[in-house]
A and B are shown apart, each in its own frame.
Chain A
Amino acid sequence: MSLKSKLHELKLKYQGKKMAPAFNAFHTFLFSPDETTHAGGTHVKSADDLKRTMNTVIMALIPVLIFSMFNAGYQHYSAINGFPADFSLMNDFLTWNNFWIGIIKVLPLVVVSYAVGLIVEFIFAVIKGHEVEEGYLVTGMLVPLIVPIDTPLWMLAVAVVFGVVIGKEVFGGTGMNILNPALTIRAFLFFAYPTWMSGDKVWVYGARERSEEILAGANVDAISGETILGYLAQNKGAEMTYSVSDMFFGFIPGSVGETSAFLILLGGLFLIFTKIASWRIMVSAVIGSLVMGLIFNQVVEFGWVAESSKFYGLMSFDFWKHLIVGGLAFGIVYMATDPVTGSQTNKGKWYYGFFIGFISVMIRVFNPAYPEGVFLAILLMNVFAPTIDHYVVRGNIKKRMNRLKNATIYPKDSDGKAEELKAETV
């Protein structure tokens, strides 16, 4: 008996039972279902389903993940041995040693994120008797990419449980949530364990251990894993040795997957090409961040901010470079475009995206504790997205109302002579 018919028999056996959603999740993962269209609807359906959609986003994330695994090692060894003088991609970056650090540091984050998140999803599906929804396939991949590399696994597990339950399931599951679950997880980590999420010791594997050794009296050099934004926030931009191409291609410290603007750009183009993510949000968010960056640059230009000001470093940072450092690019491409929590109308997407870019750079510059604002900006706009949509939809309704003033309503025949009437204004 073939696997197909065996599984079909099992499916019939589980039908109506409590564990059916759990079984179906595995079954539909292997085989797309034998379900046919119902009466009263279209008899044929297009090839896309939610699994395929989510899978496309994951495909766009894979290059970023692989890069981040190499970068984890590259940052680790560079922090110990110093950055290589003649950087060669093959010899210094794409090495087995670098990748090994990725395997022991990044992969566990991915595994924990998926394992914990999917267990929560399965439990809710079984309790509530609905199918296991695909939303977490993407969330589970995003989470390890937006946390610092030294995030303890138990911390991640706690945050994932919080994010999935409070961020999504209490609202009814995939499609019903108000806040992006991955960012809810990130925000939980940030506010619950701030010392593990900011500072200069969390971005490079080994930095924290080394500083603990130093505290214990060991005679070794401290590892500095400061991010570019960290340098700038302390007005130490001049000490930074990263070139623009380092920033663009991503050979810099930062959250696990956020560093390579280049691969994120490719992922974004792929998502736009496949028509999965909204180009409107991406373009407007880029515009929004550039506008805010330009405003800050002009403020510096006019001399309104003294060089001694604590905002000087970030304000004077070239406006376009905001896009290639920190998590802005990653946030714009993979998080802002979440269709559930973003604006749902095409016009609303322009406003929504613009403000994400605009506010991200604003928070980044003005946040004294932590020079990054993308996740806060997106969460804030998640909250405002329904309001934006409300006004866009009102615009459409208003148009219809205006049209109604000129409505042509003829009386019924029984009302007497048919005469053209103007409808009363409603």
Chain B
Amino acid sequence: MSKDIRIKKGLDIKLVGAAEQTTSKAVLSNVYAIQLSDFHGITPKMMVKQGAEVKAGEPLFYNKNMESMLFVSPVSGELIEIERGDRRRILTLKILADKTQEQFLGTAVDVENASKEELKAVLLKSGCWPFIKQRPYDVIANPDTNPKSIFISGYSSGPLQADLDYVLQGKEKELQAAITALGKLTPGKVHVSVGSGKSPLSSMKGVELHNVSGPHPAGLVGTQINQLDPINKGELVWTVTPQDLIIIGEYLLTGKFNAERTVALAGSSVKAPKYYTTKIGSEISTFLYASGVNEENFRVINGDVLTGSKSKPDGYLGFYNNTVTVIPEGDDYELFGWNKPVFNKISATRALTFSWMQPNKKYDLDTNTNGEHRAFVVTGQYEKVFPMDIFPMQLLKACMVKDLDEMEQLGLYEVAPEDFSLTEFICISKQPHQKIIREGLDLLQKEIG
């Protein structure tokens, strides 16, 4: 029997501007972009030159360290720009979309009967492999390895995240194909967790199904791994998000890489927050202004407010994102902001902050840090929102002083930066937890591999 996950420690960040459950089709973007910052640790090697015509699903570049791992174009069009940064590092690939889309045709696979090697080869060639990530290190999985299990979280507990039960509706066939394929890639189990019986994922075959309940971060896959089958040194776990499973599944069934995705546009700055179907890499303005914005000074976030990356209205939808959040910028001073009673912000304490009195109130938070960066002072706060069996502050400090032994022993293998998003949110010293963990993971990977 599958094990259910109940989390007590955590904090639900309830924000104004949840996406209404109606879906519109976003207008087509003129330019699509692949942002290399989405693929942490990947050095790209271009396969097409600037100005070349590509079809949707046609490879653009491969991973320098693994030539078989291809990255494909979401649309057909002309590669108009390769934006480079320091030392000619590629930042963004921009594709001017054709008026009539042409699809690069791969080969459909009979998932039930395909062998593991066959499936791997297809996923690598099709550009679907980058959807599979691995822990430790929170990077794209190495196809040569065998993970002990694969985790899929079908429960979104984070603030204003797209409701997976809603966006996965009607995609059962694709999900099942992808899950069956993934099942062959691991000698272990495929763990799927759902928040309710309504999830299309709850009818999947060949999985270990878990019910998750509790406050955020119950829906983070790292929390679930830690509860069910924590990662030890040397072990590997792969994770895939359900919406990426749809793209994988569709490719396996039809041989077409379809970059289409339902995205939640949410946040207090959005006039009419709702869902849009669009494509990976499309310009955010193609649906942002269809919903309208409430103010002039806002921030567009590719992802949710805790883990997303900062973008712009003319930025592009990230490779892994199913949520775009828009909230007001908080670049203003507040008179006696440090000692007056606070009613309109979320707090994990009760130090003249009153969010504990209204647990169901929805807040309109801006991007102000509400204080300055300090050394770690207060203790015992992180543990209240951190459900893993790990000492969060000690692990952060080990990462800061680059103590590899401590990092290993305190459980860095088990975490990804996103697992520290809640502790970062409540941090009184305003320390950049996710950045510290990311740098720690990079160092550990470099030194120990």
Where the two chains meet, the residues of A that have a C-beta atom closer than 8 Å to any C-beta of B are 4, 7-8, 28-53, 55-56, 131, 133-135, 172-176, 273-276, 278, 280, 339-340, 342-346, 349, 389, 393, 396-397, 399-401, 403-404, 406-414, 418, 420, 423, 426
Contact = CB atoms under 8 A, between A and B. Distances in A.
Interface residues of B, number: 88
A423 B187 contact: no
A423 B234 contact: yes
Interface stretch (B25-33, B253-261, B332-340): B332-340
B409 A48 contact: no
A42 B306 contact: yes
A113 to B, nearest CB: 20
Given A39-B310, A40-B438, A44-B305, A409 B379 contact: no
B338 A51 contact: yes
- Interface class of chain B by DSSP: loop
Given A40-B432, A175-B377, A345-B391, A34 B368 contact: yes
A407 B235 contact: yes
A67 to B, nearest CB: 22
Given A32-B371, A33-B369, A409-B234, A49 B306 contact: no
Interface in B308-338: 308-310, 325, 327, 329-338
Contacts of A346: 380, 383
Contacts of B380: 278, 280, 339, 344, 346, 349
B105 to A, nearest CB: 28
A426 B145 CA distance: 21
B349 A274 contact: yes
- Interface class of chain A by DSSP: loop
B425 A42 contact: yes
B309 A49 contact: no
Contact of A43 (B336, B339, B367): B367
18 contacts: A32-B368, A34-B331, A37-B368, A42-B307, A43-B305, A44-B346, A45-B371, A51-B371, A53-B351, A172-B375, A175-B374, A175-B376, A275-B350, A345-B394, A406-B232, A408-B148, A409-B236, A420-B187
Contacts, number: 261
B13 A31 contact: no
Contacts of B424: 41-42, 45
A41 B372 CA distance: 15
B378 A403 contact: no
Interface string B140-154: 000111111000000
B145 A55 contact: no
A29 B340 CA distance: 12
Q: Find the residue from B345, B379, B438 having the highest chain A CB count within 10 A.
A: B379
Contacts of A37: 367-369
A53 B428 contact: yes
Contact of A414 (B144, B376, B432): B144
Nearest to B309: A39
Contacts of A8: 333
Contacts of B230: 403
A208 B328 CA distance: 63
A172 B430 CA distance: 18
